[in-house]
């Protein structure tokens, strides 16, 4: 678990189909948003070893997605091998099938469930921001009821009802999730929330 700030490996088993970094034209845009999240401090380290995790769905109608690798510090100009293609998620047996050189983000279960239940959503960005968390109530951003361990099924179960109704929500005492029809929409939602949070904080 997250005690003692230890690094937590993903709670699922990973089966690699191909040990190759993803090759998709939209990967460049995902790298851009990783760089933006870093620049705006939207993905600082969460206790236990998780930074933010960002993903997109390359092909509508498929539940496969490309996501940042596990325990990856977001920054500028990340190489292709820091991204992983998730091919299949078996929640019953907790097995994730992936193509890549590194394990996919520990929040892959959450991304997978959202993609399968929200066909209109093609990008999911998760970050950590004290500003957004502390202003969430004032900004009417829905939030889960209590903190759940990151990467856990409990977190997925708590977050999913919110994800079905909202494109921006808060994981209590942890971070935020922004969803979009494309990466630009998900990214702008997060950046606008940060801007509004900063403004409401200054007004106090």
Q: Mask 114-133, x = binds Zn ion (CB under 5 A)?
A: --------------------
Q: Which of 175, 177, 190, 193 binds Zn ion (CB under 5 A)?
A: 175
Given the complex with Zn ion, which of 136 and 175 has the nearer CB atom? 175
Shortest distance in whole angstroms from residue 25 CB to Zn ion: 27
- DSSP strand E in the chain: where? 13-18, 53-56, 65-68, 83-90, 95-99, 123-127, 168-171, 175-180
- Using the contact rule CB under 5 A, the part of the chain among 3-11, 82-90, 168-176, 177-185 near Zn ion is 168-176
CA distance 153 to 96: 13
* Tokens read off for 4: 């003692």
Shortest distance in whole angstroms from residue 108 CB to Zn ion: 12
Given the complex with Zn ion, which of 16 and 46 has the nearer CB atom? 46
CA distance 42 to 25: 24
48 binds Zn ion per the rule CB under 5 A: no
Q: Which of 2, 40, 46, 160 binds Zn ion (CB under 5 A)?
A: 46
Shortest distance in whole angstroms from residue 46 CB to Zn ion: 4
CA distance 84 to 101: 7
Q: Which residues pair with 123 in a beta bridge?
A: 56, 180
CA distance 26 to 49: 27
Residues serving a catalytic function are: 107
Q: Using CB under 5 A as the criterion, which residues of the chain lie in contact with Zn ion when the complex forms? A: 46, 50, 175
């Amino acid at each position: 678990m997250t005690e003692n700030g230890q690094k937590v490996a993903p709670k699922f088993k990973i089966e690699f189909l191909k040990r190759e970094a993803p090759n998709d034209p939209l990967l460049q845009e995902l790298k851009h948003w990783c760089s933006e999240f870093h620049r705006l401090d939207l993905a600082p380290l969460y206790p236990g070893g998780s930074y933010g995790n960002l993903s997109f769905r390359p092909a509508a109608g498929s539940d496969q997605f490309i996501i940042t690798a596990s325990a990856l510090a977001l920054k500028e100009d990340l190489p292709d091998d820091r991204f992983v293609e998730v091919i299949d998620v078996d929640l019953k047996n907790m097995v994730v099938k992936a193509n890549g050189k590194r394990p996919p983000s520990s929040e892959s279960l959450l991304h997978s469930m959202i993609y399968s239940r929200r066909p209109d959503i093609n990008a999911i960005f998760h970050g950590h921001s004290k500003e957004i968390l502390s202003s969430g109530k004032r900004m009417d951003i829905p939030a889960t009821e209590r903190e759940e361990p990151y990467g856990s099924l409990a977190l997925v179960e708590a977050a999913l009802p919110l994800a079905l109704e909202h494109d921006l929500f808060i994981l209590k005492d942890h971070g935020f999730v922004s969803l979009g029809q494309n990466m630009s929409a998900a990214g702008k939602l997060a950046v606008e929330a940060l801007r509004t949070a900063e403004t409401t904080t200054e007004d106090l």
